[in-house]
Structure 1
C-alpha cells in the first residue's frame, strides 16, 4: 500500500510527519543527537536491517535533516551529521522522551531520562508557554489557519 504524501497539507503537524513520521527516522535523529555518526554505529545501536537503515538515512539526507561529510578521523568513511534543521528536532525528541517516561512505564519499571550533560540532572519538563509567559493547557491552544495571499 502506497503512503499518501502530506507534504502539501496546510497543517504543520501533517507536513512534519510526512517528513520524519516513521519511528526509524526519529530514532536515527535521537541517536545522531547523542553523537552517533557512522552507518555501522546506527545499525548496532538500533538493531536495524541495513536496507531499512540505508533508505532512512538517504531520506533524511534528501530532506536536509542529516548531511553526509568526510569522516572526522580522516579515514575513507563518510559520517552523518545533523543539519540545523535536524538539530532543531531535539525539542521533539525531548518531548517524546518525557511523555514516554511519564506514561509508557509501569510503576517501578526503569527507563532512561534525559539529563543536562554538564550537571547530570534531569532536564526540566517542557511546557507550552504563551508569548507573555503563561503556562498553556491543551484547552488554551487553538489552531488558526493561515490566510493565503
Structure 2
C-alpha cells in the first residue's frame, strides 16, 4: 500500500483506503447484491485464490465483512460478504466515478448506466451540500484549510472566511 505524501490530505487518505482499482470493483459488485464468494468470482471472472486475497485485504481495511446472518444455503467455503459502514460510504464515489466515465460516451455507447429502479430512467448523480442541497461542483465552492491542517496543507489553502 502506498503512503500519502501529505498525511492530512483528505484526497490522499481516500486513495490510501481505495489503494487498488479492484477495491471499488469488488465493492461495486457486493453493493449491487452479489454477495456470495462464488457470485463475486463469477461476476468479476477472477481466479479464486486472487479473489480470496483481495477480499482478505478489503476485510483487513474494514471495507468488507463476512455476513454471518446470511441464509446458509451455500456450499461450504462459499461465504457471504457485506460492505461495512466504511465500505458503503464509498458508494457515492463509485456512482460519481461511473457517471464521469459515461459522460465521455454517447448514450448509445454506454455499457452500464445508473437508473431509477422505480421508473427505469437513467439518472445523473451530482454532489450536493447536505445542508443546503446546492451543487458543490460549481464556482463558489473551494477548499480551505481545516482546524488541524499541517503546515503543508496550511501553505496550500486559505483559512475559511468568517462565518464558515
- TM-score, normalised via structure 2 length: 0.74
Which of residues 38, 47, 50 is equivalent to 1:49?
47
Q: Which of 1 and 2 has greater Rg?
A: 2
> Which structure 1 segments of 5+ residues have no match?
none
Residues 17 and 61 of structure 2 are in contact (CA less than 8 Å); yes or no, is this contact kept in structure 1? yes
Which ranges in structure 2 are unaligned for 5 or more consecutive residues?
Answer: 150-164
Change (3 A) 1:78 1:8: farther
**Where do 1:1-149 residues align within 5 Å?**
3-6=1-4, 9-70=7-68, 72-75=70-73, 76=76, 77-103=78-104, 105=105, 108-129=108-129, 131-137=131-137, 139-148=139-148
Alpha-carbon distance in structure 1 between the residues aligned to 2:133 and 2:23: 33
Shift of 1:37: 0.8
Change (3 A) 1:118 1:142: same
State the TM-score, normalizing by the size of structure 1: 0.80
CA distance in 2, matches of 1:129, 1:36: 31
d(CA) in 2 for partners of 1:111, 1:9? 37
**Structure 1 pair 148/71, CA: closer, same or farther in 2 (3 Å)?**
closer
Number of residue pairs the alignment of both structures matches: 146
Asked if the contact 1:66–1:83 (Cα under 8 Å) also holds between the matched residues in 2, the reply is yes
**Residue 13 of structure 1 aligns to a residue in which SS?**
helix
